Amino acid sequence: MDPRREAKSSIDRTRRQLFQDCGIGIGKIALSSLLANQAFSNEKVNGETGTTGLHHPARAKRVIYLFMAGAPSQLDLFDYKPKLKQLEGRPIPPSVIDGQRYAFIQPDAAVLAPQFDFQQHGQSGAEISSALPHLAKVVDDIAIVKAVHTDQFNHSPAQLFINTGSGIPGRPSMGSWLSYGLGSETKDLPAFVVLKSGGSLSGGSAMWSNGFLPGEYQGVPFRSNGEPILHVKTPSGISTDEQRRSIDFINEMNRHQQQSSGLLSVQTRIESYEMAYRMQSRAPELMDLSTENKQTLKQYGIQAGDGGSFAKNCLLARRLAEGGVRFVQVYHSGWDHHSNVQQGIKRQCQQTDQACAALLNDLKQRGMLKDTLVVWGGEFGRTPMVEASAALGRNNGRDHHPQAFSMWFAGGGIKTGQTFGKTDELGFHPVEDAVHVHDLQATILHQLGIDHERLLFRHTGRNFRLTDVHGKVIQQLIG
């Protein structure tokens, strides 16, 4: 445990300059102290594979977060409600709606039945949609959380909220908080890597931003096709020795500026140059799948010539995690089904289901699942009522539903083979073990050895944390 992490102050430039101009060395002492606070612990716990974490022994060393942007319909994938079949075509009772407003439908919109059959699977007997045949085979390796709710009902703020704890851009992302608290397991790769597929993201790059944390904690987007990282490759005609000498010269200039100004941002700049240099060889090596055997590629469903597919990104996530990356965020968009929810879900599941199951099996076979926390989910759920609009050309879709949606967790000390939480007979409201987004964030941090109430950063005169002033660890999920 490192109490220095519990309240780390941001010292403005004017104050540092004042101390340094006094000529008594206080500025340099303060700078050295602040830089020393960046140290982190990565020791073994009683000979086990978990790290000490920051505040308590960790159950997970790393996270792979599979973010399904656009909001998958829980009612067609995980939360089976036969009552919806009975009421299909009728309006939802007003007592259920309770004055709720929606983005694209009226409160009295008709009920839409589940679009897929459900069956029980595994020893746990979890009910899984026929749209997820591969996940159904590994259902005992996951924990399904059914009663998740959020404060946001539009895509951009909801995606920001679940990634950063705030619906407003400018806050540090979860991966940045983890990087800040625990540091990196490797010197050759960033602690936080982002992979994307399926199209654009409503929340944009603010979802992996460092916010007000130092710049080295920002998520680094890797491309699964072409150059892994833009603007890092050594320019044509420049030798390795020349590149090294250039970086050494730039770093020397930066150190001189740091000594004269006392700016911590200069240290970040130095570290970014060094990291970029080390990644020039390490990143392309990890992104090259030619070393993977054909059986592994087949297991994930990766086809010859695949570019930036979700399946490829899942395999890359395993390789990055194996290489020491602490937080891998795999974004896949295309789940926003305001029309023809059946075909939309079928298409998305064809792109993602096999790879999700393959990732769990792959991690398990390599002995990595026990200390790798895998998270799957979107930003909110979908309504039990149908969305239909001739003017917008929509039919048989579902609108945004923040009151209740489903996610699943695996590995990293999670008690799997369980379904946690329950919604009412229409899938509208949580009725048992409701889970807020801040609770999910607190639990993820907890599994990596972090007390979410104690990982703080002082900014604009107050202490900030990922979960704001909310959140509690979901103890029932922990094995």
67-96 pLDDT, tens digit per residue, is 999 999 999 999 999 999 999 999 888 888
In this structure, of 162-166, 172-176, 216-220, the range with the lowest mean pLDDT score is 216-220
Q: Is the pLDDT of residue 7 over 90?
A: no
pLDDT of residue 269: 61
DSSP assignment letter at 22: T
Q: Give me the domains of the chain, ranges plus CATH numbers.
A: 52-233+293-477 (3.40.720)
Query: By C-alpha distance, which of 50, 11, 51, 1 is closest to 32?
Result: 11
pLDDT of residue 282: 66
pLDDT of residue 275: 58
Q: Is the pLDDT of residue 252 over 80?
A: no
pLDDT of residue 132: 98
> Which tens digit of pLDDT belongs to each residue from 20-53?
444 444 333 333 333 333 333 333 233 333 455 8
More confident residue, 35 or 284: 284
> What is the rounded CA–CA span in Å between residue 257 and residue 249?
13
Query: By C-alpha distance, which of 232, 228, 265, 272 is closest to 250?
Result: 272
In this prediction the pTM is 0.83
- Average the pLDDT over 427-432 and give the result: 96
> What is the rounded CA–CA span in Å between residue 166 and residue 148?
16
Which pair of tokens denotes residue 406?
A: 């489903």
pLDDT of residue 97: 79
- Average the pLDDT over 166-195 and give the result: 93
pLDDT of residue 100: 75
More confident residue, 447 or 24: 447
> Which tens digit of pLDDT belongs to each residue from 342-369?
999 999 999 999 999 999 999 999 999 9
- Residue 26: phi, psi to the nearest 5? -65, -40
Q: Are 92 and 428 in contact (CB under 8 A)?
A: yes
Cβ neighbours, 10 Å, residue 402: 20
pLDDT of residue 231: 53
pLDDT of residue 233: 60
Specify which residues 407 forms β-bridges with: 145
Q: Are 169 and 162 in contact (CB under 8 A)?
A: no
143: three-class secondary structure by DSSP: strand
pLDDT of residue 36: 34
> What is the rounded CA–CA span in Å between residue 192 and residue 197?
17
pLDDT of residue 281: 58
Query: By C-alpha distance, which of 120, 116, 114, 169 is closest to 140?
Result: 120
Average pLDDT, the chain: 84
pLDDT of residue 279: 59
393 — pLDDT class (breaks 50, 70, 90): confident
Q: Is the pLDDT of residue 63 over 70?
A: yes
Q: Is the pLDDT of residue 417 over 70?
A: yes
> Considering Cα of 140, then 404, then 204, then 134, what sign does the dihedral take?
positive
Nearby residues of 117 by Cβ (< 8 Å), 6 or more positions away? 129, 130
| Amino acid found at 129 | S
Q: Is the pLDDT of residue 168 over 50?
A: yes
| Amino acid found at 54 | L
> What is the rounded CA–CA span in Å between residue 39 and residue 201?
34
pLDDT of residue 116: 98
- Average the pLDDT over 110-139 and give the result: 97
pLDDT of residue 22: 42
- Average the pLDDT over 210-220 and give the result: 92
pLDDT of residue 286: 77
- Average the pLDDT over 3-19 and give the result: 45
Cβ neighbours, 10 Å, residue 352: 28
